[in-house]
Chains A and B, each alone.
Chain A
Amino acid sequence: MGKEILLGKSLNELTQVVKDLGLPKFTAKQIADWLYKKDVTEIDQMTNLSLKARTALKEKYDFGTTASTKVQESVDGTKKYLYPTNHKNKFIETAYIPDNDRNTLCVSSQVGCKMGCLFCMTGKQGFQGQLSSGEIVNQIRSLPERDKLTNIVYMGMGEPLDNVPEVLKSLEILTSDYGMAMSPRRITVSTIGIIPGMVEFLDNSECHLAVSLHTPFDDERKKLMPVQNVYPIKDVLKIIKDFDFGRQRRVSFEYIMFKGINDTSRHVKELCRILDGIKCRINLIRFHPIPNTPLDGSDDQTIEFFKDQLNKKGITTTIRRSRGLDIFAACGLLSTKELVKQQEKDF
């Protein structure tokens, strides 16, 4: 058994750690400072802790940062980092996307994914395991560009709201004064619509919500996203409609454009109908084909027309700029390539 990891522990958990070690209560806050605000990676570097405290900590705990093992850089400045995980030979990806006045980090929340969306590369790995809050926070903490970050999106590998306890704990650390003190308005959590997880997230976080919609029609969505069989989008939208997002909190819908499948005027009309009453925006995303996919991306002209139609109907719609195409920045491509499949299959 390895030692327990400190990174990813909330202040409450750190308070319990110091209590168990017989250390003064204020030590918890000091440890949190070292973990989340300062640029050190060893317990020995926590120099305002007594030698006795550091020795006691080291006996049971590791600091917990993990450096990336690989990085790819795009000509447009996008960088993709590969991080090892606690799951043997399994990796996660984190994409750093610099732009003019905004530097966004796209973090992973699971190793692989259970959701099996037809258009997703991560899903082809199957599900390898949950990330701990420490592994989620590490993607930010160990990022060389950490100090330049302005925004974080939980849109990397995995379905964040299928890992609610660890995702919520990581959000607490990112947004708390004792942690990284980011504004929750700088963080967006994306989901395909896992209803129990979404309810818990809405009730217990102030961060923005993004929902992967991809088509307004139930039958089409079932073919693209198996989750539709379990949590139909109409039920997801009902919860969003009934929730008070307040003035600052935002809900957006992600919409990947598939040629001849979800990019017609019929889809515009139905989108307007089902989103009526929700203050939201739609992000249109170009589809960049993955291996063995039966889907093609819509052309630029169709995407522009789709956007204009939605904007005319009063739904703020933007087209997300494709980034990192030369390094396969779409989540899952790099780690799936690296993955050594060792698990025993049940079929």
Chain B
Amino acid sequence: MNSNTDQKNKLHTTSILENNEISPGVYVLKFRKIKDFKAGQYVGLTTDLSVTPRLYTIASGIQDDEVNILYNLKDDGWLTPRLSEIKPGTELFVTDPDGDFIDDSSPAWWIASGTGIAPFSSMFRSGLKENKTLIHGGRFTHSFYFENEFLPELGENYIRCCSQESGDGLYSGRLTRYLQDIPELPKNCRFFLCGSPEMVVEVRDLLINRGVEYNKIVAEIYF
């Protein structure tokens, strides 16, 4: 091994406070905050120092004392099957927060699929609410994580697009159809996208085709 390529991120040790399944296969992991972060940033997590940390966007607000991580259990993954079994008090290794998927107080549409809601949850919990429209796509009625927090405050500016089930207050259909059917998209606002690569690329193409300038689109990808 060549020693001159040490990773910039040194790992901190923290311990798990809570680990709850909030929806089938979807969990919120909570641990004590070690470093301040900006809403929209990510941390690397691992349970084993010999394994490269996996990156997860923080879902909690910047003022909170604990860090919340929203994650999907992936059976073929390395970390999430271990995380899903983890108990409060267990040691966890965490990198410094990093990343540049950052919004400000200017008008923006936040568009997410699945657990891609995490950065927007952090922004929302950090106080960004004015001028924001949140569109969340999911397959099932239980896919709209943190909806009880978003609904009262964002009201009509919180749109849940459910592709495989119907439910009260839900738009029935994929979020791409919702975006396609809107008569006019706002001109002077930025569009933040977070979710699967398929969603990000498809929504970005759709927005560009509908006249949104590409430099008004900011995308975060899962990998």
Seen from chain A, the residues whose Cβ lies within 8 Å of a Cβ on chain B are 112-116, 118, 123-124, 126-127, 159, 162, 194-196, 199-200, 202-204, 218, 222-223, 226-230, 232, 235, 238-239, 242-244, 292, 294-295, 343-347
B100-A346 in contact (CB<8A): no
A123-B114 in contact (CB<8A): no
Residues of B167-223 whose CB lies within 8 A of A: 174-176, 195-201, 204-205, 208-209, 213-215, 217-223
A113 to B138, CA, bound (A): 22
* A116: chain B residues within 8 A (beta carbon): 197, 200-201, 204, 219, 221
* B218: chain A residues within 8 A (beta carbon): 222-223, 229
A346-B196 in contact (CB<8A): yes
A345-B197 in contact (CB<8A): no
The 7 A-B residue pairs with the shortest CB-CB distance in the complex, in nearest-first order: A126-B198, A347-B137, A347-B113, A226-B219, A114-B223, A114-B197, A199-B5
Instruction: Knowing A226-B220, A347-B196, A347-B199, say if A244 contacts B4 (CB, 8 Å).
Output: yes
A113 to B220, CA, bound (A): 14
CB distance from B220 to the nearest CB of A (A): 6
Residue in contact with A239 in the complex, picked from B5, B53, B138, B205, CB distance below 8 Å: B5
The answer to the question of B163 belonging to the interface, with a C-beta cut-off of 8 Å to chain A, is: yes
CB distance from B51 to the nearest CB of A (A): 11
* A127: chain B residues within 8 A (beta carbon): 196-198
Among A196, A227, A292, A345, max chain B CB count under 10 A is at: A345
A345 to B177, CA, bound (A): 13
* B101: chain A residues within 8 A (beta carbon): 229
B214-A223 in contact (CB<8A): yes
A227-B8 in contact (CB<8A): no
A343 to B208, CA, bound (A): 24
6 pairs, CB–CB < 8 Å, chain A vs chain B: A114-B221, A115-B221, A127-B197, A294-B214, A347-B176, A347-B199
CB distance from B200 to the nearest CB of A (A): 5
CB distance from A233 to the nearest CB of B (A): 11
Residue in contact with B197 in the complex, picked from A126, A223, A230, A235, CB distance below 8 Å: A126
A239 to B7, CA, bound (A): 9
Residue in contact with B174 in the complex, picked from A112, A118, A230, A347, CB distance below 8 Å: A347
* B199: chain A residues within 8 A (beta carbon): 345-347
Instruction: Knowing A116-B201, A292-B209, say if A227 contacts B2 (CB, 8 Å).
Output: no
Q: What residue in chain A is nearest B195 (Cβ atoms)?
A: A347
B221-A345 in contact (CB<8A): no
Residue in contact with A346 in the complex, picked from B2, B139, B204, B220, CB distance below 8 Å: B139
A190 to B4, CA, bound (A): 20
* A114: chain B residues within 8 A (beta carbon): 197, 221-223
The answer to the question of B99 belonging to the interface, with a C-beta cut-off of 8 Å to chain A, is: yes
CB distance from B13 to the nearest CB of A (A): 19
A244-B99 in contact (CB<8A): no
A124 to B201, CA, bound (A): 6
CB distance from A98 to the nearest CB of B (A): 32
Q: What residue in chain B is nearest A341 (Cβ atoms)?
A: B198
B100-A229 in contact (CB<8A): yes
Instruction: Knowing A115-B223, A116-B204, A345-B198, say if A244 contacts B2 (CB, 8 Å).
Output: yes
A118-B204 in contact (CB<8A): yes
The answer to the question of B161 belonging to the interface, with a C-beta cut-off of 8 Å to chain A, is: yes
Instruction: Knowing A118-B214, A345-B163, A346-B137, say if A243 contacts B5 (CB, 8 Å).
Output: yes
CB distance from B217 to the nearest CB of A (A): 7
CB distance from A226 to the nearest CB of B (A): 4
* B220: chain A residues within 8 A (beta carbon): 226, 229-230
A343 to B99, CA, bound (A): 30
A345 to B162, CA, bound (A): 11
Q: What residue in chain A is nearest B116 (Cβ atoms)?
A: A347
CB distance from A27 to the nearest CB of B (A): 31
Instruction: Knowing A114-B197, A244-B4, say if A124 contacts B205 (CB, 8 Å).
Output: yes
CB distance from B130 to the nearest CB of A (A): 23
A343 to B223, CA, bound (A): 18
Residue in contact with A196 in the complex, picked from B1, B7, B205, CB distance below 8 Å: B7
A228-B100 in contact (CB<8A): yes
Instruction: Knowing A345-B198, A347-B195, say if A292 contacts B208 (CB, 8 Å).
Output: yes
The answer to the question of B52 belonging to the interface, with a C-beta cut-off of 8 Å to chain A, is: yes
* A204: chain B residues within 8 A (beta carbon): 1
A159 to B222, CA, bound (A): 13
* A113: chain B residues within 8 A (beta carbon): 197
A102 to B62, CA, bound (A): 55
